[in-house]
Structure 1
């Protein structure tokens, strides 16, 4: 009779509480009911009544209302998370933990909550980036300087929209991660099921953003640059540690490597790293996450910088004993397989004064290293040059291409000009680079040249003259290069095609490596093993693996068995064949 009346009472009580209470208050009342019934059983009722009575409470107060409580408008799980109601969330967790469907329901709700918030962050970063940014590489554009009112800096342009979006996206993801990490510890008591659900949710969120590899690399790049204001080395290291947690969720780590290699190369070449220790510390973190092969070429870039420094010291000593060129140069010798931009660097016709300096170094270098070939990359260099205007002289820092253009105006009269076609045919600078550098010199903040007719964009019909009337309060001026626009859809498609091509080679190499070791495998086992081995770089598509297997069968590296479900490794044929498989880790 007690159990029947209790069941009838708690059915009604559950409906009354749902109608009159918000979620936190409902959970408090339910908790009080459990405590009261336990006390009543201990003091008045038979001990055997306690278990069935508790089951009645669990069924009617909790099990029947799990989703209803979590989804309550303005007071359910999401509002409690938004308002950081740790005590209420902990009570929800403790009560849900007591019933079998409780934790799975909470797990699904938390995962859905993270996904919803993450999708909002992704949507906020998905706006179109059509604006142009100014800078040498497209990093921040700062003017290095003489002293003006105690300050020495000026802006040549705002940060690119891509960079701002990337920083905000990573910061928002880190903020979301910090929030749920704290709730996991304080409210959900480090429950493994909850931890697993949050991990899956964040992995989905990060990989739903197809720009995540680029954004994470840009965020790291910004935190490893010189001149960061308001951040100590310890604070930067903490931020980078947190960034690595986001990087762990990334499945396309090979795409991240492509972007990171570009950003690292620019930091090293333009001397913008906050410190060598910070850079190597970040490499160590990446090596722990992905292994030595992931960072091998990145470490090779550091080695090139050190060797180049030693080479330049030896070159300067060599010049002490011979006739030095008029222009002093500093050269970085890059191993073509390590650096991302050495295969397609734009070239130009250097003026004689620069050619003499480059030939001097080239002769010195080749006398020390036989069998090597140097290919100059003027698109990556920069120059300090003193220019004389009517008002005063200024020390300009321009790109090498910028200097090549300026030297064409050195012997022109005051009213003489050069057409775009004349500049291009004389310098042989590719059209895309020439337009950007002419924009920097004639259309940006510091107008060293005049464009005729005036305007923001450079057209092949334009002509240019030297701006003798240029004035500026600063002695030293950095003329920042107008950067290429953010990747268009076609450029992104081209980047994706290059990544897919590299993945094709990596899958083939992995299949051969696995089959050479195992000799015989079923198709499913081969797919599982190849996926496992490549998971640290990307998630291979089973259909892609199948196509690579078919290709290797055609080339007689493998043979299909009679059961049509397994393969044999053709050791003799493979060993006698020329090595046609190349693992293309770089660009």
Structure 2
């Protein structure tokens, strides 16, 4: 946490988290190399010294105690952030200061470091939950569903394969299913483009991402029906007229050509992006922006035509829309609408629209129009979306941000998963032992779950009481510290 001059505590930004995670993990791994060298030179690789080093490092990495004014480090989350950052960098083809990441050997070196650090983490289930969240966001927010290859290596496949070797496929079942959706989306995109190339009518190019809603994080899929008019007639989301024909064509293709009559297809604008070619008075730009931002920009597309049937220039129409009008014409949720308007009408580098009056905040009385004077040194422009936390901070009423909701969901998933695992382990132990004292059951339970996580005494007691209520266990009549399994 960072403390401001006013005394308020401010959560570190995602960029700060990435920098901290990278520095923290790299420093620990370098320090481990030094300790191993000391053990080799001074102690001739004595097994007791090696074990002491390993235990000390594990205790330090998993220590959840707060030190002075520094918050405890969440090691499972930090490792997931670290891996997420490097995969994104690799997919961009960029380099880092210490490692150019140009060869397959260097890519594998990064994955080996990640697995090496994972071995020290006690709460493996917490890492899996955080990694699943990052894995999903990488795919849903990427510009393309097509696989990114680094020197012939699919980095996602490589990392997932290494994690499966370390944690087992059953532990990563949901991520494996998500990866299956990614592969099928890639194939479907190719098939759809081949189909479109043989059609006479002009359709918009789609890069498809079809996700089975039951396998993806709930924070990303919980409101997937909200954008369907049939499911949300009160305040419907309105897809732009320019997209509807292509959407209808794909729905028909997906249902009939792909034999999906028994499945429902829902479109979601929350993720993904749009590539839009806009001709300004100065030059034509190819602009990549979020789907929400693209939907807003399409409201300013020309509506009227010239005598020859061609569209009048959007800059000649000089259309102006208020915030309330944009909200009514799109149905975009308030927080999302405001942060995407900030991205395309406030940010100086991507000010595609002019906001009147000009200010950082977006208000209901603001008026928006196309920015005729927009200029960029590059023909290709990428609009960066303002974070939901930044947008929420300007709101008069406190708003739970997307990051907060995702963080809460991850924590809830971890807790619910642990409840099931503790219950299953208790039943498994008691079924084989029939009767056990409380301390014996606790010791055996901790031993069996050690490879997954460390259950707290509070959680163990709660799960024992839960199983007693469900009549899987009973207490001994003469000694309440003894449990009996109910066959």
How high is the TM-score relative to the length of structure 2? 0.78
Match of 2:350 in 1: 446
Aligned pair partner of 1:361 in 247, 250, 257: 250
- Contact kept, 8 Å, 1:184 with 1:191, in 2: the verdict is yes
Match of 1:390 in 2: 281
Supply the distance in 2 between the matched residues of 1:174 and 1:537 (Cα, whole angstroms).
22
Match of 2:60 in 1: 205
Aligned pair partner of 2:81 in 189, 195, 218: 218
CA RMSD of aligned residues (A): 2.9
Supply the distance in 1 between the matched residues of 2:270 and 2:404 (Cα, whole angstroms).
25
Aligned residues: 421
Supply the distance in 1 between the matched residues of 2:344 and 2:13 (Cα, whole angstroms).
16
Supply the distance in 1 between the matched residues of 2:178 and 2:169 (Cα, whole angstroms).
14
Aligned pair partner of 1:299 in 151, 176, 193: 176
Which structure has the highest helix share of the two?
1
Mark the runs of 5 or more structure 1 residues left unpaired by the alignment: 1-121, 134-159, 572-587
Q: 1:492 to 1:399 in 2, by over 3 A?
A: closer
Supply the distance in 2 between the matched residues of 1:469 and 1:431 (Cα, whole angstroms).
28
Matched, 1:337 2:197: no
Matched, 1:252 2:123: yes
Matched, 1:352 2:208: no
- 1:533-583, CA deviations, whole angstroms, 9 ceiling, x for partnerless residues? 332332111221121111121122332333323333334xxxxxxxxxxxx
Supply the distance in 1 between the matched residues of 2:317 and 2:12 (Cα, whole angstroms).
35
Supply the distance in 1 between the matched residues of 2:128 and 2:27 (Cα, whole angstroms).
22
Supply the distance in 2 between the matched residues of 1:282 and 1:494 (Cα, whole angstroms).
24
Q: 1:322 to 1:235 in 2, by over 3 A?
A: closer
- Contact kept, 8 Å, 2:324 with 2:364, in 1: the verdict is yes
Higher-Rg member (1/2) = 1
Supply the distance in 1 between the matched residues of 2:130 and 2:155 (Cα, whole angstroms).
18
Aligned pair partner of 1:456 in 352, 360, 371: 360
User: How far apart are residue 477 of structure 1 and its match?
Assistant: 1.0
Match of 1:136 in 2: none
Match of 1:485 in 2: 389
Supply the distance in 2 between the matched residues of 1:172 and 1:480 (Cα, whole angstroms).
31
Match of 1:228 in 2: 94
Q: Which has the higher contact order (CA 8 A, sep 6+)?
A: 1
User: How far apart are residue 279 of structure 1 and its match?
Assistant: 2.2
User: How far apart are residue 165 of structure 1 and its match?
Assistant: 1.7
Matched, 1:165 2:20: yes
Supply the distance in 2 between the matched residues of 1:406 and 1:420 (Cα, whole angstroms).
13
- Contact kept, 8 Å, 2:111 with 2:162, in 1: the verdict is no
Match of 1:506 in 2: 421
Q: 1:432 to 1:331 in 2, by over 3 A?
A: same
Supply the distance in 2 between the matched residues of 1:268 and 1:492 (Cα, whole angstroms).
18
Matched, 1:370 2:261: yes
- Contact kept, 8 Å, 2:196 with 2:203, in 1: the verdict is no
Supply the distance in 1 between the matched residues of 2:484 and 2:223 (Cα, whole angstroms).
40
How high is the TM-score relative to the length of structure 1? 0.65
Supply the distance in 1 between the matched residues of 2:476 and 2:107 (Cα, whole angstroms).
56
Q: 1:186 to 1:566 in 2, by over 3 A?
A: same
Supply the distance in 2 between the matched residues of 1:370 and 1:273 (Cα, whole angstroms).
32
SS of the residue corresponding to residue 73 of structure 2 reads: coil
- 1:13-60, CA deviations, whole angstroms, 9 ceiling, x for partnerless residues? xxxxxxxxxxxxxxxxxxxxxxxxxxxxxxxxxxxxxxxxxxxxxxxx
Matched, 1:177 2:32: yes
User: How far apart are residue 457 of structure 1 and its match?
Assistant: 3.4
- Contact kept, 8 Å, 1:224 with 1:274, in 2: the verdict is no
SS of the residue corresponding to residue 350 of structure 1 reads: coil
Supply the distance in 2 between the matched residues of 1:364 and 1:163 (Cα, whole angstroms).
42
User: How far apart are residue 132 of structure 1 and its match?
Assistant: 6.0
SS of the residue corresponding to residue 480 of structure 2 reads: coil
Q: 1:390 to 1:477 in 2, by over 3 A?
A: same
SS of the residue corresponding to residue 451 of structure 1 reads: strand
User: How far apart are residue 520 of structure 1 and its match?
Assistant: 4.1
Q: 1:297 to 1:543 in 2, by over 3 A?
A: same
SS of the residue corresponding to residue 337 of structure 1 reads: helix
- 1:81-116, CA deviations, whole angstroms, 9 ceiling, x for partnerless residues? xxxxxxxxxxxxxxxxxxxxxxxxxxxxxxxxxxxx
Aligned pair partner of 1:468 in 354, 359, 372: 372
